[in-house]
Amino acid sequence: MWQSLWQWLWQVRRILPALVLLGLANITHASVEVQNEYDCLIDPAQVLEIGSPVMGILEKVLVSRGDTVTAGQQLAQLESTIEEASLNITRVMADSDAAIKAREAKLDYARKQRDRAVELQGRGAISSQSFDELGADYTIALQELQLARFEQQRLLLERKRAEAVLAQRHIKSPISGVVQKVDRGPGEYVFQEASIMTVVQLDPLYIETFVPVSSYRDIAPGMEGEVMLSQPQEQSVTARVIVIDRVFDTSSDTIGVRLQLDNPGGVIPAGQRCKVRF
């Protein structure tokens, strides 16, 4: 029995160093994993306070908090009775070609009179004064037609200007996203510095984190990181490094890193804390 016990102890003595080294290796590996894991925060790509380029009374608010909007979608409208009337006037004037047609008819008549005068002059049947007058009438009619065409172009530009003035009173979203809050309602006065509502862009999302300065050379734009989320469910997703700050934070000896996370449909909510591992 004693011989068997001594043999067992001898075998344990031989494999004990290997077991110790294996345990240390596992501890070291786990420690490295923990060291490469950093706290992070998920931010929207953009948070925009939507305002108005002109002053006026808010007539309509077409969206509510939580609504999904697309780029170019109308969000609100200012009272625009005067602007709409001005546009209608310029539109009627710009769309009318009556002045041009009248000048064309006058020019055609003056051309025929001039051609007839040339024939009469060849036979000596018209005075020089009458010939000169008919020639001047043709020149004047030609200039009047050109002026009518210039006026038509001016009216078309006036119509575009009136359309632009009216469009300024239709507040549209510059991005696709979600309405976070609505600050003003119909009947309230709006000016350039006033926020009508806030729209946030949730696709993509930005992952903001800080890593030790010692890791500066280990992280590069385009590098992937594993982001661990808690909402809408516990999961790990892959994000891509897009920004590495060029200025270190000397107080904490860290550097800021931003990753981009695609978020089709805005499924992943912003504003939550997370963990990131490189």
* Residue 74 binned pLDDT confidence (cut-offs 50, 70, 90): very high
pLDDT at residue 192, as a whole number: 86
pLDDT band, very low/low/confident/very high, at 65 (cuts 50, 70, 90): very high
**The pLDDT of residue 205 is above 70:** yes
Q: Place 220 in a pLDDT band, splitting at 50, 70 and 90.
A: very high
- The rounded distance, in Å, linking the Cα atoms of 25 and 114 is 108
Average pLDDT over residues 60-75: 96
Would the pLDDT of 226 be above 70? Answer: yes
Q: What is the pTM of this model?
A: 0.70
Question: Tell me: the pLDDT tens digits for 3-59?
Answer: 453 454 355 455 544 444 444 344 344 343 445 789 999 999 999 999 999 999 999
CB 265 within 8 A of CB 176: no
Residue 67's nearest CA partner among 178, 176, 184, 174 is 178
Q: Which residues of 171-209 are buried (b: 16+ CB within 10 A; e: fewer)?
A: bebebbbbbbebebeeeeebeeeeebbbbbbbbbbbbbb
Q: Which amino acid does the sequence have at 46?
A: Q
Q: Mind listing the pLDDT tens digit for each residue in 106-132?
A: 999 999 998 998 888 888 888 888 888
Q: How far is CA 52 from CA 169, 190, 192, 201, in A?
A: 7, 7, 5, 19
| Sign, CA torsion 212/218/224/225 | negative
- Residue 192 makes CB contacts below 8 A (sequence gap 6+) with 51, 52, 53, 54, 55
What pLDDT does residue 101 have?
A: 94
Query: What's the pLDDT at 144?
Result: 94
pLDDT of the residue at 126: 83
Tell me what pLDDT residue 21 has.
42
Taking residues 193-219, report their average pLDDT. Answer: 94
The helix (H) or strand (E) run that includes residue 254 is strand 254-261
Q: What are the DSSP calls for 95-133, one per residue?
A: H--HHHHHHHHHHHHHHHHHHHHHHHHHTT-S-HHHHHH
Cα-atom radius of gyration of the chain, to the nearest Å? 39
Question: What's the pLDDT at 7?
Answer: 55
Q: How far is CA 68 from CA 74, 117, 173, 202, 253, in A?
A: 12, 74, 11, 10, 40
Contact 255, 245 (CB under 8 A): yes
Q: What is residue 269's DSSP assignment? A: P
Mean pLDDT lowest among 25-39, 89-103, 111-125, 197-211: 25-39
